[in-house]
Amino acid sequence: MTFRQFVFNNVLRNKRLYVAYFLSSLFTVMVFFTFAMFAFHPALSGADIHFSALYGMSVAGGIIYVFSFFFVLYSMSSFLQSRKREFGLLMTLGASSRQIRRMVFLENMIIGFFATVGGILLGLIFAKLILLIAENVLIISETLYFYVPVLAIIITFVSFIVLFLCISFFVSVVLRTKKLTDLIKGNKKWKGEPKASFALGIIAALLLLAGYGVALYVKGMEVLFAMVPVIIVVVIGTYLLFTQLSVYVIRRLKGNRHLFFRKTNMLLFSDLAFRMKDNARTFFLVTIISTVAFSAIGTLYGFHSYLTRGIKDLNPFSYTYFSFIDDSDERIEKDVQRINAILQEENIKADMERIEMTYYHMEASDTPVLIVKASDYNRFARLNDEKEVSPDKNEAVVVNVSARMMGSSSGNSSLIDQPILLQNGVEIKPSETIESELLPEIKGYYIVHDDAFAELGDPLNSSSFFAFKVVEGEKESVMDAGRKMMEQTEYRAQAIDYMVYEIDKAYGPVLFIGLFIGIVFFVSAGSFLYFRLYSDLDDDKYKFQSITKIGLTVGELKKVVNRQTAILFFAPIIVALIHGAVALTALSRFFDYNITEEALFVLGGFAVIQIVYFFIAKLFYVKQIKETVYR
């Protein structure tokens, strides 16, 4: 048997040990390949994709590659960790250190090669699957079709063969510097609790508080300037949080005997402390990756909603027609006739209201202010099933668009302080403010009693506004009618459904890629956790086997495993969720648009996924341990 045959057989025989390492490598390749496949998609390489989107994608690709490197390296080192004793044994049996290094190198290349090829194949299937889902969710079916990505295959293959070569070299160099005795002692050796300083713990807390404080304080353009320093401060703070503060807290918990010596706490905390070095590293990586995922998806989703829901909120009606100031009456009549003709053509039944929007000069305002009479407003309110208003003869109601649309700088707040002077000398006092988007005036306006309206005199200017509410009609034809009337009235008419459709179509691919990257990052974080969990499996099996011999109930075992897994799964995610919430709040301050709902949806969604993931992982983990312990 040649040495090479020995290596090959070794891999085949120690399957279980290699499977975890192989799978995580395979997964990494798959993620990278799927990404490359979309990044090099013909539809995206055209001229119509934004330069910034391309730039963003290359950055994301680079980040994925760097993370792949660290992930594979990390998997590799845990894998070697669990095999140190095997190496030690081989060496005492006379294998030279050079032979072992050669064995590790060859093994790693075998695994790397199959992981690369397998990852590409799996990636092709995965991409097809994603596209199937995407087609049903986003409007990109025509643009992002499935293709055979020769370029992506070549790039992935070369990148990862190089990556595995580097790691193989790196590992064999590292192995050279390790002493034989270290290898023989293997994993029994106490890794040592990481040192924690109280001062650094405090600094961690201060950095995080400062970062959050600034992120929550800045507004508008300041957000852009504050972003990079805040990110740096928070990343350092997070690192210290896990390597210092958490270690310090666990120390203190262990120091408190009334807590530490209580039931299963001793098992839980001593293990936490023991694994803190590995955990801290994983927690930090997972937190950062998850934060990136949450923020990226939250941003895209928030931005999408800013674009579409903003329009929807401002346009409660299916179709509107808003004349330009100097349009002639004939033109308006003709346009409206055309709209009605289109509606008839498409078999759409719609209710219509019209209003002459009249603008008046006001003392305190440099632009003319819209004043409408109550009966006009109420007709529109009835059309959209909204509350009617009935101001008294000498009262006015101020209307602003809802605060959500305007963020903090809501409407024209000064209107409420301005009395309206009628021609007959009567002063009308604004009495209340309401929010409404019925009329297309975002600067705010007054509603007055019909009698008062008659005394206003001549307006400075006016335009006609028509609103149509569809009562009956097919979704398709409503959209088609919208497109036609927008074109034929030279965009005086607006069709909300068609406009949203156009936005979705334009942003679909970018949104999709962004979503995909976010999900990839999140899934990678999950696999980091999975890997961390399973690299402790043998230790845990030994531990629980030991205690069970002395007497440990199934309930106690489950309790310890549940808690230690819960800490592993939720500590980094909770920190990431807080980071993400702060980042999205800062984002909404930047756009001056409230995305609380979207942020809650995204963060909540991830939290739910994580909880499900936790339960599945825990179930299998407990099962594995129970199988060993209670044979």
Q: How do 445-448 and 369-373 pair as beta strands?
A: parallel
Chosen residue from 121, 273, 567, 611 binding another protein by CB under 8 A = 273
Kindly state the smallest distance separating residue 624's Cβ from another protein, in Å. Answer: 18
Q: Per CB under 8 A, which region of 270-278, 312-320, 356-364, 576-584 contacts another protein? A: 270-278
Chosen residue from 86, 278, 556, 592 binding another protein by CB under 8 A = 556
Q: Per CB under 8 A, which region of 65-73, 256-264, 476-484, 577-585 contacts another protein? A: 256-264
User: What residue has token string 């996924």?
Assistant: 609
> Which of 312, 171, 176, 295 shows the shortest CA–CA distance to 603?
295
> Which of 40, 39, 41, 25 shows the shortest CA–CA distance to 118?
25
Q: Rounded to the nearest 5 degrees, what angle is found at the Cα of 386, between the Cα atoms of 385 and 387?
A: 130
The C-alpha R_g of the chain, in whole angstroms, comes to 33
| Residue 195 found at the interface with another protein (CB under 8 A) | no
| Residue 365 found at the interface with another protein (CB under 8 A) | no
Kindly state the smallest distance separating residue 250's Cβ from another protein, in Å. Answer: 12
| Residue 51 found at the interface with another protein (CB under 8 A) | no
N residues, the chain: 631
Chosen residue from 108, 305, 548, 588 binding another protein by CB under 8 A = 548
Decide whether 156 or 548 has the Cβ nearer to another protein: 548
Residues between 277 and 336 with contacts to another protein, criterion CB under 8 A: none
Chosen residue from 121, 210, 235, 266 binding another protein by CB under 8 A = 266
CA dihedral 303, 308, 314, 318 (to 10 degrees): 180
Decide whether 257 or 387 has the Cβ nearer to another protein: 257
| Residue 264 found at the interface with another protein (CB under 8 A) | yes
Greatest pairwise CA separation for the chain in angstroms: 112
| Residue 89 found at the interface with another protein (CB under 8 A) | no
Kindly state the smallest distance separating residue 274's Cβ from another protein, in Å. Answer: 4
Residue 373's DSSP bridge partners are: 448
Residues 6+ apart with CB under 8 A from 605: none
Chosen residue from 4, 13, 252, 262 binding another protein by CB under 8 A = 262
Decide whether 102 or 558 has the Cβ nearer to another protein: 558
What sign for the dihedral angle of Cα 587, 591, 592, 596?
negative
| Residue 630 found at the interface with another protein (CB under 8 A) | yes
Cα→Cα distances 148→20, 29, 161, 517, Å: 29, 17, 21, 20
Q: How far apart are CA 362 and CA 428, in angstroms?
A: 13
Q: Tokens representing 258? A: 């009334």
Residues between 506 and 545 with contacts to another protein, criterion CB under 8 A: 543
Residues 6+ apart with CB under 8 A from 487: none
Residue 434's DSSP bridge partners are: 399
Number of residues that bind another protein (CB under 8 A): 29
Decide whether 23 or 567 has the Cβ nearer to another protein: 567
| Residue 270 found at the interface with another protein (CB under 8 A) | yes
Q: How do 427-435 and 395-400 pair as beta strands?
A: parallel
CA 140 to the chain's CA centroid:
20
Decide whether 120 or 267 has the Cβ nearer to another protein: 267
Chosen residue from 15, 179, 188, 623 binding another protein by CB under 8 A = 188
Q: Give the binding site for another protein (CB under 8 A).
A: 188-190, 257-258, 261-267, 270-271, 273-274, 543, 546-556, 630
